[in-house]
Amino acid sequence: MAQPLFEKVAFIGLGLIGSSLARVMLAENLSRHIVASTRSEKTLQDALELGLIEQGFNNPVDAVQGADLVVLALPVQATEKVLRLIQPHLADNVILTDVGSTKGSVVAAAKAVFGEHLPAGFVPGHPIAGAEHTGVHAGKVDLFANHKVILTPLPSSAPWAVNKLIQMWESAKAEVICMDVEKHDEVLAYTSHLPHLMAFNLVEQLANREDNLDIFRYAAGGFRDFSRIAASDPQMWHDIFLANKTALLKAVDGFESQLAIIRQLIEQEDSHALMGLLGHAQAARQHFNHMLAKKPFMENNNVTQQFTILPGAKTFQGKFTVPGDKSVSHRSIMFGAIAEGTTHVTGFLEGEDALATLQAFRDMGVSIEGPKNGEVTIYGVGMQGLKAPAGPIYMGNSGTSMRLLAGMLSAQQFDSVMTGDASLTKRPMERIAKPLREMGAQIQTTGERGTPPVSITGAQALKGIHYDLPMASAQVKSGILLAGLWAEGETSVTEPEPTRDHTERMLRAFGYEVKTEGNRISLQGGGKLVGTDIQVPSDISSAAFFMVGAAITENSDVTLEAVGINPTRTGVIEILKQMGADLSVENERIAGGEPIADIRIRGSRTLKGIHVPEDQVPLAIDEFPALFIAAACAEGQTVLTGAAELRVKESDRIQVMADGLKTMGIDCTPTDDGIIIQGKGKAGDWSAIFTGGEIESHHDHRIAMSFSMAGLRTSGEIKIVGTETVATSFPTFTELAGVAGLNIQVTE
Ligand code: NAP
């Protein structure tokens, strides 16, 4: 058995937090001996009976003898008194930590006792976990699991001490974060202390009314939710409010001025601004939930989601609207924001990336309602109406937003900074910064190697340029054209080969003239956009999974409504048709400048293997994982060449698909620029093709969704791990696939 981390731990205070940590220490065998000192004899007795400690002491001095870890788990106000008592009795090299909810006051107490030379083993800490009940019986072994623990190492803290404490808290399955003391107290003042203060205060306000009984009796869920934390221990919160007085008062002042703002909006019945404020707050709440809490948490803790697909699907049928196209969703917000008048968007993709764009424009003062069921209303502020954001603009994982916004922000009167998540922070931004500089923009890529953060100095007069794009990039092309809206004269771009033209099409839908002559696209600066209705086409890349699902399932009949059929994207339709799929494109029309149609696929005949024409490869590049599933069900061999690009997508899609296909009994050979798949289909035979098995999706959403569709023709259970990224592009995937007839379950 591994050596315990500690020889002897002494808890001073053994209530909710201390006893929960003691439970972890026991369960994980973190210390050879565990002792404690508390105020009351009763707590020690209870702790002995619970088997949490081997000895209890009334005097903390007795507890700390020979301990290599001392944990102060008592009210922060008692810290100085206890430290004064135990100081002469602490072992050399002891690790001394605490769990108090404020950190400045604990450090001040330590300095009062030890002087400026604090022990190297002193590392204050704060687990962000709790419960309304306190005391030794309230403790739980999993109290800290999936919660954050903040350590605030001081300049005097030794790395060995910090590292051991990180190990200890990670054994409790907590996520450990280090920050400095002031930052901790400020962050907690806003996120914990102020909400508690408000909850206590609201309950107090109502309790003082004469009709308080009625009020509490008829209290709706909102009151219950909001006031829940006012049931916490008054003594503890009294102590915390006083211990973190400075930071808390600052937060209270901020709250007061914000309250005055909303009060005035209601008093003046300023419905537009009130809606803007509420919408902004709601979106910020969802945004933080999405981007800041769950995803990094999942990444840091290797928490993954898994799909399980059971064999025996009988049918695959229905009419579906798959989520909106991401590229078009981004642009609808950007162009609606700078247009004059109102823009109403339907079919908006409520995925994390598009929500980041929406939040960015709210941060720049644009009033936006929604999204609700894919509907968004944007009250455009015109070409000169964007306002300076209060802080850096967070673009999440969206390279599209960052590159397009770089163009727009370069032309504004204010300075701005754009940041993003870990993966966006690695993407190249010089490719857009360089042409923008030629236009007169002051833009810096402040990360290493020309990566984000991107910092822009406003109030520059831009002039139109002609730019020969060195790479085929719709994002760079769009960023330049967007800066050109504000630039003097003509801005034009020549692209080496045609790329997605969503920007050009949508600018025209907003009434802005854009010329396309061969590979040269140009516009004149100084015009204006006029608000319009935008129907975001359903994303053909998302529709592709259902197209393939229907094509491989007997008697299926699936219609995908209002799918974007921009000619730069329709390779999947052409390839499936060549494989013999019963597929028709119906009801073609134009929406928001983009061609759309309903696509109907029926499972009436067995697909045949083909050599995929190379001219279709760029037009279907994102759809190949799904098409490989179709190829496995086809009769004969399918050969793909000229698709080396697939190896550098979110994953190496050729290798990852080949590995998964082999796991499920399909004979295939990956090549440098494609794959050869031996289809197992036989004309007129709809029996199972895949054997089932466990598939690693490498956190690539398209891999996960493609193998889900294989579940329509499987004889055994399919498990797909790492499926949490599916929510980014297709939040309703499992729901719709289930309605159509796939036996799919999600577990986390
Ligand atoms: P708790 O359940 O009430 O336990 C407090 C413990 O400290 C008890 O064992 C108590 O002894 C002892 N104690 C109280 N006053 C003392 C004094 N003057 N001198 C010596 N010992 C004393 O409280 P808790 O929830 O565990 O909170 C402990 C610390 O964790 C606090 O600093 C709090 O800020 C922090 N914290 C709490 C939460 C939460 O949600 N509860 C969350 C994060 C951090 P007796 O058992 O003899 O009364």
pLDDT, one tens digit per residue, over 23-76 is 999 999 999 999 999 999 999 999 999 999 999 999 999 999 999 999 999 999
Alpha carbon distance 275, 688 (integer Å): 54
Q: What is the CATH number of domain 6-179?
A: 3.40.50.720
pLDDT, one tens digit per residue, over 681-720 is 999 999 999 999 999 998 888 999 999 999 999 999 999 9
Ligand 1 pocket member 76 (CB < 6 A): yes
* 505 assigned binding-site residue: no
Fold classification of 187-269 is 6-phosphogluconate dehydrogenase C-terminal fold (1.10.3660)
Report the candidate in 58, 103, 111, 57 with the shortest Cα–Cα distance to residue 83. Answer: 111
Please give the average per-residue pLDDT across 362-379, as a whole number: 90
Report the candidate in 187, 199, 229, 210 with the shortest Cα–Cα distance to residue 101. Answer: 187
Q: What percent of the chain is predicted at pLDDT more than 90?
A: 76
| 236 Cα to the center of ligand 1, angstroms | 8
Q: What is the pLDDT of residue 293?
A: 43
User: Which is the closest atom of ligand 1 to the Cα of 60?
Assistant: 20
* Confidence category of residue 373, pLDDT binned at 50, 70, 90: confident
Q: What is the pLDDT of residue 287?
A: 63
Q: Which amino acid is at 601?
A: I
Domain spanning 351-365+382-527: CATH 3.65.10.10: yes
Domains 306-321+537-747 and 351-365+382-527 share a fold: yes
The residue ranking higher by pLDDT, 729 or 177, is 177
* Confidence category of residue 295, pLDDT binned at 50, 70, 90: very low
Q: What is the pLDDT of residue 519?
A: 93
Ligand 1 pocket member 14 (CB < 6 A): yes
Question: Whose C-alpha lies nearest to ligand 1, atom 25?
Answer: 16
Alpha carbon distance 566, 596 (integer Å): 7
- Are 438 and 464 within 8 A, CB to CB? no
Q: Where are the domains of the chain?
A: 6-179, 187-269, 306-321+537-747, 351-365+382-527
- Are 365 and 400 within 8 A, CB to CB? no
* Confidence category of residue 131, pLDDT binned at 50, 70, 90: confident
Sequence-distant (6+) residues with CB within 8 A of 302 are: none
pLDDT, one tens digit per residue, over 417-466 is 998 877 678 888 999 999 999 999 999 998 878 888 899 999 999 999 99
* Measured CA distances, 649 to 476, 622, 644, 699, 733 (Å): 18, 9, 10, 12, 21
* Confidence category of residue 291, pLDDT binned at 50, 70, 90: low
Q: From the CA atom positions of the chain, what is the Rg in Å?
A: 30
* 702 assigned binding-site residue: yes
Average pLDDT, the chain: 92
Report the candidate in 301, 304, 322, 351 with the shortest Cα–Cα distance to residue 720. Answer: 304
* Confidence category of residue 1, pLDDT binned at 50, 70, 90: low
Ligand 1 pocket member 38 (CB < 6 A): yes
pLDDT, one tens digit per residue, over 474-519 is 899 999 999 999 999 999 999 988 888 999 999 999 999 999 999 9
Question: Whose C-alpha lies nearest to ligand 1, atom 20?
Answer: 39
**Do strands 454-457 and 416-419 pair parallel, antiparallel, or not at all (unpaired)?**
antiparallel
Taking each helix axis from N to C end, the angle separating 352-363 and 271-287, rounded to the nearest 10 degrees, works out to 140
Handedness of CA 683, 686, 688, 694 (dihedral sign): positive
Q: What is the pLDDT of residue 232?
A: 84
Please give the average per-residue pLDDT across 717-741, as a whole number: 90
- Are 477 and 499 within 8 A, CB to CB? yes
Q: What percent of the chain is predicted at pLDDT more than 70?
A: 96
- Are 563 and 320 within 8 A, CB to CB? no
Q: What share of the chain is helix, strand, coil (3-state, %, to 5)?
A: 45, 20, 35
String of DSSP letters for 561-581: EEEE--TTSTHHHHHHHHTT-
Active site residues per annotation: 622
- Strands (E) in 395-439, as ranges, are 416-419
How many CB atoms are closer than 10 A to CB 459? Answer: 10
Alpha carbon distance 158, 89 (integer Å): 20
Q: What is the pLDDT of residue 286?
A: 66
Ligand 1 pocket member 78 (CB < 6 A): yes
* 692 assigned binding-site residue: no
Q: What is the pLDDT of residue 290?
A: 53
Count, residues in the chain: 748
pLDDT, one tens digit per residue, over 481-492 is 999 999 999 999
- Strands (E) in 28-158, as ranges, are 31-37, 55-57, 69-72, 95-98, 125-128, 148-151
- Strands (E) in 28-137, as ranges, are 31-37, 55-57, 69-72, 95-98, 125-128
Q: What is the pLDDT of residue 321?
A: 93
Please give the average per-residue pLDDT across 305-320, as a whole number: 94
Ligand 1 pocket member 593 (CB < 6 A): no
Residue 378 has pLDDT above 60, yes or no: yes
Report the candidate in 442, 422, 436, 444 with the shortest Cα–Cα distance to residue 465. Answer: 436
Q: What is the pLDDT of residue 294?
A: 44
Given the candidates 2.60.40.10, 3.30.70.380, 3.40.50.720, 3.65.10.10, the CATH classification of the domain at 306-321+537-747 is 3.65.10.10
pLDDT, one tens digit per residue, over 585-630 is 999 999 878 999 999 999 999 999 999 999 899 889 899 999 999 9
User: Which is the closest atom of ligand 1 to the Cα of 42?
Assistant: 47
Ligand 1 pocket member 15 (CB < 6 A): yes
Residue of 23, 236, 239 to mutate, ligand 1, most atoms within 8 A of C-beta:
236
pLDDT, one tens digit per residue, over 205-261 is 888 877 777 777 766 667 877 888 888 888 889 999 999 999 999 999 999 999 999
The C-alpha angle with vertex 597 and arms to 591 and 601, in degrees rounded to 5, equals 160
Alpha carbon distance 581, 631 (integer Å): 11
The residue ranking higher by pLDDT, 279 or 83, is 83
Ligand 1 pocket member 140 (CB < 6 A): no
**Do strands 490-494 and 466-468 pair parallel, antiparallel, or not at all (unpaired)?**
parallel
Residue 317 has pLDDT above 90, yes or no: yes
* Measured CA distances, 129 to 145, 526, 624 (Å): 9, 54, 45
- Are 693 and 716 within 8 A, CB to CB? yes
Q: What SS3 class is residue 516?
A: strand
Does pTM surpass 0.85? no
Instruction: Find tokens 């290797």 and name the residue.
Output: 302
Q: What is the pLDDT of residue 26?
A: 96
What is the largest distance, in Å, between two alpha-carbon atoms of the chain? 87
Q: What are the backbone angles phi and psi of residue 514, rounded to the nearest 5°?
A: -130, 130
User: Which is the closest atom of ligand 1 to the Cα of 14?
Assistant: 9
* 111 assigned binding-site residue: no
Residue 274 has pLDDT above 80, yes or no: yes
| 250 Cα to the center of ligand 1, angstroms | 26
Please give the average per-residue pLDDT across 156-175, as a whole number: 95
User: Which is the closest atom of ligand 1 to the Cα of 74?
Assistant: 7
* 399 assigned binding-site residue: yes
String of DSSP letters for 579-648: TT-EEEEEEEEEETTEEEEEEEEE--S--B--B--GGGTGGGGGGHHHHHHHHHHSEEEEEE-S-GGGGG
pLDDT, one tens digit per residue, over 635-687 is 999 999 999 888 776 678 999 999 999 999 999 999 999 999 999 999 999 99
How many CB atoms are closer than 10 A to CB 261? Answer: 11
- Are 737 and 309 within 8 A, CB to CB? no
